[in-house]
Amino acid sequence: MARNGPRRVRKAKTVGRIHAAVMVEEEEDKPPPPGFLPEWDGTEESLLNALATGRTLHNAPKLFVSATYTYSQQLTEQEYQKKEIRPVEEIVPKQYHEYLRVFSKEASERLPDHGPYDHAIELVPDARMFHCKVYLLSPSEQVELDKFINKNLVKGYIQEVKSPMSSPFFFVKKKDGSLRPVQDYRRLNDITIKNRYPLPLVSDLMDRLKKAKYFTKLDIHWGYNNVRIKTGDEWKAAFVTNRGLFEPNVMFFGLANSPSTFSALMNDIFKDLIILGKVTIYLDDILIFTNDIEEHCTLVREVLKHLAERDLFCKPEKCEFEQPKVEYLGVLVSENRVEMDLVKVKSIAAWPVPQNASDVRKFRGFANFYRRFIKDFSAVCKPLDRLTGNAPWK
């Protein structure tokens, strides 16, 4: 793609649950303004391959990574903002108030202690060190970066260092519209020995919920940040910003094996309750489900007791107690019933008409999550699948 003068390239890229717009800008020394989404005007194979594999582009123009979000996330944010903000004492039923500290934001911001489940970063033999350039941020993202650095230095979650390795840092949108700080650990993950500890199968979790009448959902505050990095491994996860080089003392989102480490921790803490078949856990989401309200209250108290004893906390605004229906892992569950999330249904129904093969792939990928709810899903999608190939567009 040769052309004179300034050039801007946009490519939306999804990596796991991260969705970010990656922009290239030449001959300008400032990031694009907030909300700026330039059009893709050609093919740049080297850029896209580098993005997919995490390779460094030598002699490349400056890279700007700007937080964006999908159409579905926009609708989810709108629904989230409609929620009424209530005090913790109202969210948590009175019978559980002896455990109110579990829902304290202030108490949750402690530096967790080291323990048997500290996150180890073991590198493959003869792993090559690497370092990355700083991603330039928009003005609003710079404000959030400063907040993130200052707050986490005070909490002890990060510290300034000198390290032979560094990973990039940028932001992605959360469902409430706020910015989530992200370290791009793909290059580190490529040279990390993988932990094969299994994650729960979502289909198995859903099967366990049959016949339950009452549901309580708890969301662990700070998620992976509740796990310390193994002493001596912190430098491997160092990340670079325009404020300097920092290493984490706690586990951050994006590190290889972090889901396995966190799952092993949670399974160990709650193994006595999981065995009963009335408590299920997927990473930082806990669901208590019973068909008897007295048994339900007893189990909720036991879960809160376990959390208090292990110095873990919940985010009250994401918790629901003793409900006949709750949203869990992207679907709505109730007695003998699993339904599509109505917000997601709305986003599918109102999805903009695809204009090219890339648009079709995005829609197809999103809709694929709900294939279990649609009879003959593959047959229904055949015309769409043909459009992702070499079929001509008119």
For residues 330 and 267, state if they share a domain: yes
Distances in Å between the Cα of 250 and the Cα atoms of 182, 225, 262, 282 are 14, 5, 12, 20
For residues 307 and 366, state if they share a domain: no
CATH number at residue 267: 3.30.70.270
- Please indicate, yes or no, whether the overall pTM of this predicted structure exceeds 0.95: no
The two structure tokens encoding residue 283:
């990473």
At residue 26, does pLDDT exceed 70?
no
Q: What is the percent of the chain with per-residue pLDDT over 70, rounded to a whole number?
A: 78
- As for how many domains the chain has, the answer is 3
Residue 326 within a domain: yes
**Helix, strand or coil for residue 207?**
helix
Q: How confident is the model at residue 13 (pLDDT cuts 50, 70, 90)?
A: very low
Residue 168 within a domain: no
Residue 32 within a domain: yes
Q: What are phi and psi of 293, to 5 degrees?
A: -70, -35
For residues 329 and 262, state if they share a domain: yes
For residues 318 and 208, state if they share a domain: yes
Residue 107 within a domain: yes
| CA 20 to centroid of chain Cα atoms | 12
pLDDT (0 to 100) of residue 178: 80
Alpha carbon dihedral 138, 344, 75, 103, in 10-degree steps, equals -80
For residues 9 and 53, state if they share a domain: yes
**Helix, strand or coil for residue 20?**
strand
For residues 9 and 86, state if they share a domain: no
Residue 297 within a domain: yes
For residues 220 and 288, state if they share a domain: yes
For residues 302 and 365, state if they share a domain: no
Residue 270 within a domain: yes
At residue 31, does pLDDT exceed 60?
no
For residues 38 and 86, state if they share a domain: no
For residues 88 and 206, state if they share a domain: yes
Q: How confident is the model at residue 340 (pLDDT cuts 50, 70, 90)?
A: confident
For residues 39 and 98, state if they share a domain: no
Residue 20 within a domain: yes
Q: How confident is the model at residue 70 (pLDDT cuts 50, 70, 90)?
A: low
Rounded to a whole number of angstroms, the CA Rg of the chain reads 23
Rounded CA-CA distance 118/107 in Å is 21
Contact 188, 167 (CB under 8 A): yes
Secondary structure (H, E, C), 125-140: CCCCCCCCCCCECCHH
On average, the pLDDT of the chain sits at 81
Full strand arrangement of the beta sheet holding 239-241: 158-160, 244-248, 239-241
For residues 264 and 288, state if they share a domain: yes
| Percent of the chain that is helix, strand, coil (3-state, to 5) | 35, 20, 40
Residue 383 within a domain: yes
Q: Which domain holds residue 374?
A: 352-387
Residue pLDDT, tens place only, 112-135: 999 999 999 999 999 999 999 898
